[in-house]
Structures are given as structure tokens and as C-alpha cells.
């Protein structure tokens, strides 16, 4: 049973997404155009700081309300939902948990109020799932750090006003070698070196970023030196919950499209939904979607209760992302040849959802996380007690 605030936030996000995001999603995809104006509208509704405390300019929603909002945005535009959950979960989340009071006032408040858009600079050309293998360097010089290195696949990298950047400060340290920094993108030495043209989520502004002698004041160090991986992993847990939620939203949009088409399309004198092959496939799609949604909501509730949720979030991301791809694939099959045309939304949704099994921890990484927990427990029944 949802609480009133949760239902209200879901309705707010749905109305906005259907009115402001959905109508232009296909055109933005073709033009590879980031919906910056729509983000101004999201800011007016308070959706740029959903998990941020009210005293810092946020909405102070719970995690269940947050994932419900992400689902609604994703159902309209997968690319927009990625930028939104990166901003809320990774960037605002990092500053909420690890930022100083000064950093929260200078950076988190304008992010939560939507005056700034945030991005998360972790992945590198040779360091994706292995975050400990970062090569970007941060050399301390008096009261500043000088960053040099390259980041890869950075969502909103060319559009963002501020990034959380991760770099090595102690190359010879076996463990605590990585630090996190708050870097406004107007800082000299922050360079958008390439816009990366992806298969899906084409309006999402994915970029390669270079730091070229980028000077960052020491008071913009997030947390302490050597705390970077802790910050990254803590943020990625919330990010994975957001990806699971957006997968549910995109899968729901694909199922709705397939269901509508199956009711309109006639073969052999009747709607194709009445053919058992199509009807059973739709039933399987709906069942998988419901299971994914319930897993996402369960993991979010655990976060709201302050209980450990790493295992459940990994399971939710694994199941939801893989189920979403299967649902979108089935939606194309139900459309037949029409599903292969850009004129029909399932073509775009399928491309948009495919990356969800890759970023912020591939399906293989989620299985690794789950299996580690299984190895540490005497039996499955002890997990979650």
C-alpha cells in the first residue's frame, strides 16, 4: 500500500512526463538533443532534489516515492530518466552523505533546487566495473589539487554544470588511493573531448571528458583523501536502484505499446491479441514487469527502513534490466515489421533499455554481488532476516 506522498509524487511525475517529455522524445532521439528545458520544468516541481532534506532545498521524499517518479519519467523518455537519476542518486546523494556543510550550501542546494545539473565522472576507458583501476591523477599543490586524466561514457557530461570526479591521489597506496572532488564544469581544464554517439538514449549527452591540469581548491575535496571508492560504491548502490526503476518504466511503455497494437491489429478476421501465441506472450510480459516492479519497490522500502539493501538492490537491477530487455524485444516481435520502424516507439525504447544491463554495474557484476552474499551465509533462508 502506497502512502499519500508516494502516490502524489508518482502522479506529479506522470503528468509532467506525459505532457512535457513524451511528445518530443522521438524527435530528440533523432536530433540527439538533450531536453534541458524539460529539466527546468522538473526543477520547478522539485524533482531535481527528491531525496535531499528540505532544509537544503530538496523535496525530502522517501526512496519508494523516488523510484516511482523515476519509473514515470522513464516510461516517457528513457534518456531523460537516466540524467535525472544520475543527478538525484549519484550527485546529490554523494553530497548529502559525504559533503561538508559548506559544500552542501554551495553545491547541493543549487543542485536540489534545479539551478545546477550534475554529472558523475567515474568510468574511464580502462576502468569500468573495476573502479579501483582508475588512472586519472590528482596531484596536491598547496591549497589545491591538479587533475589530469580521461573519463568515459559520462551522462550529461557536456551539459552539466557540476561533476563529482574521482581521481588517484596516492598511486602507491594499496587501498585508499582514490579521492572524490566537486568540480564545476566551468573550471579551466575541464574539457569535453568527444560526444559519444550511442546506440540508444541518444538525447542523453554522453561524453568523453578530459581533465587537463584542472585546478580544484582543496575545500572541494569530497570526504577525505582515500575515501573515493567508499563514496563511489555508496552512490552506485542508489544509482543501481534508479536504473532498476527506469528499466521498469521503459518496459511498461513497451508493454503498453504492444498491448495497444495487439488490440488494433487484425489478422484472420480478429485482433491479434485473441490469438493464443500473442495473448500468452503479453501475459508473460505483464508477469515479468510486475515481478520487476515489486522487487524495485521492496528494495526501496528496505532503504527507507534503514536496513541493508545491497543484495536486494543487486537482485532488482539484475532482474529488472534483463526482464525489461526481454519485454521490449517481445514488444517488437508483436509489432512485426512495424516494430522495426522508427515511426513506432518500441524501436526507440528497445535501444534505450539495452544499456541498463551495462552501466553502473553489468549484469555479471550484480551476479557477483549476489553470489558473494550467498557464499557468506549458511543457507538462503538466513538472508534478509
Q: Catalytic residue numbers?
A: 360
Strand 190-195 with 144-155, pairing: unpaired
Calculate the alpha carbon distances from 16 to 86, 241, 244, 342, 348 in Å: 19, 22, 21, 24, 20
The answer to whether 42 and 84 have CB atoms below 8 angstroms apart is yes
Strand 118-121 with 178-184, pairing: unpaired
List the alpha helices (DSSP H) in the chain. 4-16, 25-31, 36-44, 63-76, 78-85, 93-98, 101-103, 109-112, 228-264, 276-304, 310-335, 345-354, 363-376
Treating both helix axes as pointing N-terminal to C-terminal, what angle do 228-264 and 78-85 enclose, rounded to 10 degrees?
Answer: 160
C-alpha span between 203 and 290 (Å, rounded): 28
Task: With H, G, I as helix, E, B as strand and everything else as coil, classify residue 342.
Answer: coil
Amino acid at each position: 500500500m502506497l502512502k499519500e506522498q508516494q502516490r502524489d509524487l508518482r502522479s506529479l511525475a506522470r503528468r509532467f512526463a506525459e505532457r512535457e517529455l513524451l511528445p518530443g522524445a522521438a524527435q530528440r532521439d533523432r536530433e540527439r538533443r538533450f531536453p534541458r528545458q524539460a529539466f527546468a520544468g522538473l526543477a520547478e516541481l522539485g524533482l531535481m532534489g527528491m531525496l535531499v532534506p528540505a532544509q537544503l532545498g530538496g523535496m525530502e521524499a522517501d526512496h519508494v516515492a523516488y523510484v516511482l517518479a523515476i519509473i514515470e519519467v522513464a516510461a516517457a523518455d528513457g534518456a531523460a530518466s537516466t540524467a535525472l537519476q544520475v543527478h538525484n542518486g549519484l550527485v546529490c546523494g554523494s553530497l548529502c552523505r559525504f559533503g561538508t556543510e559548506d559544500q552542501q550550501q554551495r553545491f547541493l542546494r543549487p543542485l536540489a533546487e534545479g539551478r545546477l545539473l550534475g554529472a558523475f565522472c567515474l568510468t574511464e576507458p580502462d576502468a569500468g566495473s573495476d573502479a579501483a583501476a582508475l588512472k586519472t591523477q590528482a596531484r596536491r599543490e598547496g591549497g589545491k589539487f591538479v587533475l589530469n586524466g580521461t573519463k568515459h561514457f559520462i551522462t550529461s557530461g557536456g551539459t552539466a554544470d557540476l561533476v563529482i570526479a574521482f581521481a588517484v591521489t596516492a598511486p602507491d597506496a594499496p587501498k585508499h588511493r582514490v579521492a572524490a572532488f566537486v568540480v564545476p564544469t566551468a573550471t579551466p581544464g575541464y574539457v569535453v573531448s568527444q560526444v559519444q554517439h550511442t546506440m540508444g538514449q541518444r538525447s542523453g549527452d554522453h561524453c568523453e571528458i578530459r581533465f587537463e591540469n584542472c585546478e580544484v581548491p582543496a575545500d572541494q575535496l569530497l570526504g577525505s583523501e582515500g575515501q573515493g571508492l567508499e563514496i563511489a560504491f555508496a552512490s552506485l548502490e542508489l544509482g543501481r536502484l534508479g536504473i532498476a526503476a527506469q528499466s521498469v518504466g521503459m518496459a511498461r511503455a513497451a508493454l503498453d505499446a504492444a498491448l495497444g497494437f495487439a488490440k488494433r491489429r487484425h489478422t484472420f478476421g480478429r485482433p491479434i491479441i485473441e490469438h493464443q501465441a500473442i495473448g500468452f506472450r503479453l501475459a508473460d510480459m505483464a508477469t515479468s514487469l510486475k515481478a520487476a516492479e515489486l522487487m524495485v519497490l521492496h528494495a526501496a522500502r528496505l532503504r527507507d527502513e534503514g536496513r541493508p539493501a545491497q543484495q536486494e538492490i543487486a537482485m532488482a537491477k539484475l532482474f529488472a534490466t534483463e526482464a525489461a530487455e526481454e519485454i521490449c524485444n517481445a514488444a517488437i516481435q508483436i509489432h512485426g515489421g512495424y516494430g522495426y520502424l522508427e515511426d513506432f516507439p518500441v524501436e526507440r525504447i528497445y535501444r534505450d533499455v539495452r544499456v541498463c544491463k551495462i552501466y553502473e554495474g553489468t549484469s555479471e557484476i550484480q551476479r557477483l554481488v549476489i553470489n558473494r552474499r550467498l557464499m557468506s551465509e549458511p543457507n538462503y533462508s538466513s538472508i534478509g532476516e
